Amino acid sequence: MERRQLGRTDLMVSTVCLGTMTFGEQNSEADAHGQLDLALERGVNFIDTAEMYPVMPNAATQGSTERFIGTWLKKSGRRPDVVLATKVAGPNPHAPWIRGPQHNLGRTDIRAAVEDSLRRLQTDYIDLYQLHWPSRNLPVFGANQFNPEAERAAVPIEESLMALGELIDEGKIRHIGVSNESAWGVCEFVKLSEMKGLPRIATIQNLYNLTARAFETSLLDEACFRSDVSLLAYSPLAFGQLTAKYLDDPKAQGRLNIFPKSWSPRYLRPAVLAACAEYAKLARENGLSPAQMALAWCYSRWFVGSTIIGATSLAQLEENIGAVEVKLSADVVAAIDEIHARFTNPGQ
């Protein structure tokens, strides 16, 4: 398993990162431990979670994902072997169980979130601590147009960076990153860190898959490449649509059928379904499963620090990790780009 450096840090992480948002909802604690064991056995050293997980988010299960990882870390003794990443939730009045309905990304909230995560994870430090989504108004999670009427009071980026800097000084977190951010946001974080002597972001965890390649434009060249900020690609299989399992069986077991469809409408857009059918056809014509092709493509992108994969079974996890061994031919990559030209970012 190849290791890649995150930003300007000393963190060397596997090409594949184990995402854990199903732990505590679709996966039991025993399932979670099995996945963690298998991932490390296959060379994965990078684990990503969040205080908000599992999904769908609710008060009864919030924090279960971190707790399951914590019991595994204690039982296995593998804390020194993993790069552990988690996230603090941005503002969301619909999730008042996370530090109250006014939770945000100010000093008090960030400090409380870190302490809670450390306790649940049963560790005394977090390798990569990320802001899950911005405090300010920004289109995220499928909203793809900025709405000035949705403006809200926001915690200044400088205040968040100062709080994170204190926690770095105390040894509770090592490095920081952002998630669901824009090019302006990345540049502002980097500018303030350089001007004010504050910690520098190393990573951005954003949506990136065959149906959602908008990162390749201004976020990549004008923000991340020039600032040494590594992409942690999430949803590389577009909530399972790129596996073609829903194409083959509309009633297939998976998040799009288990949870209310209003949760992820972007993955149900007609153009997404049409694009996924084209990618599936291409994969099968070249002796690959649709999931293998979609993941191999993502794993091979030169600017991706690590690709975050999730699974609900060990068989799925085996296939997803195994795709790292698949090398796509130039012809297949060219055909992927041709499909992208016809169906440009329908899942963004």
pLDDT digits (tens, 9 = 90+) for 262-284: 667 889 999 999 999 999 999 99
- With a CB cutoff of 8 Å and minimum separation 6, the contacts of 253 are 312
Share of the chain above pLDDT 90, in %: 93
The arithmetic mean of pLDDT across residues 106-135, rounded, is 98
pLDDT over 90 at 245, yes or no: yes
> Does 16 score more than 80 pLDDT?
yes
Question: Is 80 exceeded by the pLDDT of residue 241?
Answer: yes
Q: How far apart are CA 66 and CA 75, in angstroms?
A: 14
- The total of other beta-carbon atoms located within 10 Å of residue 225's CB is 13
3-239+299-326 CATH, one of 3.30.590.10, 3.20.20.100, 3.30.1130.10, 3.40.50.2300: 3.20.20.100
Q: In the prediction, which pLDDT does 336 show?
A: 98
pLDDT band (50, 70, 90) for residue 222: confident
| Distance in angstroms (rounded) separating the CA atoms of residues 24 and 51 | 12
Please give the pLDDT value at position 11: 98
The torsion angle over the Cα atoms of residues 115, 166, 46 and 201, rounded to 10 degrees, is 140
Mean pLDDT across 209-226: 95
pLDDT digits (tens, 9 = 90+) for 32-79: 999 999 999 999 999 999 999 999 999 999 999 999 999 999 999 999
Catalytic machinery residues: 53
Q: Where along the chain do its domains lie?
A: 3-239+299-326
Average predicted confidence (pLDDT) for the chain: 96
Model pTM? 0.97
Distance CA 24, CA 66 (A): 9
| The pLDDT of residue 262 | 64
pLDDT bucket at 141, cuts 50 / 70 / 90: confident
For 164-204, write each residue's pLDDT tens digit: 999 999 999 999 999 999 999 999 999 999 999 999 999 99
Q: What local confidence, expressed as pLDDT, does residue 261 receive?
A: 66
Mean per-residue pLDDT, 213-236: 96
The three-state DSSP-derived secondary structure of the chain is CCEEECCCCCCEEECEEEECCCECCCECHHHHHHHHHHHHHCCCCEEECCCCCCCCCCCCCCCHHHHHHHHHHHHHCCHHHCEEEEEECCCCCCCCCCCCCCCCCCHHHHHHHHHHHHHHHCCCCEEEEEECCCCCCCCCCCCCCCCHHHCCCCCCHHHHHHHHHHHHHCCCEEEEEEECCCHHHHHHHHHHHHHHCCCCEEEEEEECECCECHHHCHHHHHHHHHHCCEEEEECCCHHHHHHCHHHHCCCCCCHHHHCCHHHCHHHHCHHHHHHHHHHHHHHHHCCCCHHHHHHHHHHHCCCEEEEEECCCCHHHHHHHHHHHHCCCCHHHHHHHHHHHHHCCCCCC
Q: Model confidence over 274-330: pLDDT tens digits?
A: 999 999 999 999 999 999 999 999 999 999 999 999 999 999 999 999 999 999 999
Q: Write the CB contacts of 309 (distance below 8 Å, at least 6 apart in sequence).
A: 16, 17, 18, 19, 236, 237, 295, 317, 320, 321
pLDDT value for 192 = 98
CA distance 59 to 291: 33
